[in-house]
Amino acid sequence: MSKVYTVSKINSYIKMLISEDFLLKNISVSGEVSNCKYHGMGHIYFTLKDSEAAISVIMFSNYKKNLDFVLKDGMKIIVSGSLNVYEKNGTYNILAQAIEKSGIGDLYKRFLELKKELEDMGMFADEYKQALPVFSSRIGVVTSATGAAIQDILRVSKRKNPYVEIFLYPAIVQGEKAASSIARGIRSLDALDLDVIIVGRGGGSIEDLWAFNETAVANTIFNAKTPIISAVGHESDYTIADFVADKRAATPSMAADMAVMDYESFEEYMQRYSSRIEQLMLEKLFVVRNRLDMAKKDLLINSPTSKLEGYNNRLKEVKRSLYSALKYGIDKNKESLRVYIERLKGLSPLDKLSLGYAFVTDMEYNRINSVSELKSQEEILLSFSDGRVLAKVERIEKAEGGSDG
């Protein structure tokens, strides 16, 4: 029986063989970049591939300073460095010390050509972009039913709004059938009259995400009547779907955050809005009441009834003034009349008669002022204050003392 070795011994031995191989200590390898990721610590991780094979590459941050361009999926490059074995899991990779461009990959070239073609057709134009509804409550999702994307979308959506409805179309998101599956999913959800549709998946290489670069998917997104958010891959990943969609989200989680209304914030907003409306109504009511009071006062002043009452009051004042004037005039005239009466009394024959005098007239009541007007045996009337006497002239005596028989 041959000698038995542990896994760690085998991996250690292989690492020793590779590390002592002069050729593998300083190699340059050409290929196409795929699944490139920039780590927060400054390291770069990606896959270098050709049409038949692939190998992992790591460029640590201390070598990154020599890189004068940003690595992107689809680039054709030449990597210089050394081959390294990771004993813990038996994998190997290239530790890159320098990277230079050598062109673009076939897939990336196809991506750029399709992007230019659709852009020239106007499919990326802003005038065709639909605004996302503010109060979305029915969200459609086209993605894998088992991937991390749907879990992230559900988690964020339920946290922001526990009442939101999620409609999942379980699409194939990778491989030959993926493009037609995604397009079919968009059309199916678009027919449900939803508020917004999220189309996407988690990150991957340019090959993994290629279904979202297909013309069929781009046309379906463009023709959909429902606003669509594209959420394909990670923040650095861009696909044709991102450019055609109404909005692009860097990740599925960010798409959910963009699509779903924050219910708690909405309640606070509505409470503030309601309070503001109530305050405005009270202010408006106060103004209207003041205007109404002023209108009532104006109406009271200018109304016929009010004017009639004013006229009546003025008439009463005029009556009082007229009465006072009349009374004053009457009193004054009474006093004058009294004076005249007293004067007349002094001139009145009756008053004279009351003093023992008599008023002498002939039988026809003609006044006799002098004895010369009398004749002997003539009948005369003597009027006293208390009656009259019929008399006959027996003798006439004149003042000079002469007599007339």
- In tens, the pLDDT along 321-359 reads 877 877 787 887 788 777 777 776 666 666 666 666 777
Report DSSP letters for 195-216, one per residue: SEEEEEE----TTTTGGGGSHH
Residue ranges for the chain with pLDDT beneath 50? 403, 405
- Cβ atoms of 75 and 68 within 8 Å: the answer is no
**C-alpha to C-alpha distances, 21 to 24, 27, 40, 138, 287, nearest whole angstrom:** 5, 11, 33, 61, 93
For residue 64, the Cα-to-chain-centroid distance in whole angstroms is 52
- In tens, the pLDDT along 179-236 reads 999 999 999 999 999 999 999 998 877 788 899 999 999 999 999 999 999 999 777 6
3-class secondary-structure state, position 230: strand
Q: What is the pLDDT of residue 246?
A: 96
Q: What is the pLDDT of residue 227?
A: 97
- Cβ atoms of 74 and 206 within 8 Å: the answer is yes
Q: What is the pLDDT of residue 347?
A: 63
Q: What is the pLDDT of residue 405?
A: 47
Cα dihedral angle (7, 10, 15, 21), rounded to 10 degrees? Answer: -160
pTM for the structure as a whole: 0.54
For residue 241, the Cα-to-chain-centroid distance in whole angstroms is 35
3-class secondary-structure state, position 71: coil
Q: What is the pLDDT of residue 201?
A: 93
Residues 6+ apart with CB under 8 A from 93: 55, 56, 57, 58, 83, 84, 86
Q: What is the pLDDT of residue 404?
A: 52
Q: What is the pLDDT of residue 134?
A: 86
Residues 6+ apart with CB under 8 A from 325: none
Reported in sequence order, the residue ranges of 176-273 that DSSP labels E, i.e. its strands, are 196-201, 228-232, 247-248
Query: How many Å apart are CA 18 and CA 81, to the nearest integer?
Result: 13
For residue 47, the Cα-to-chain-centroid distance in whole angstroms is 53
Reported in sequence order, the residue ranges of 105-261 that DSSP labels E, i.e. its strands, are 138-143, 165-170, 196-201, 228-232, 247-248
Print burial letters for 153-191: b (CB count within 10 Å at least 16), e (below 16). bbebbeebbeebebebbebbbbeeebbbbbbbbbeebbe
* DSSP designation for 130: P
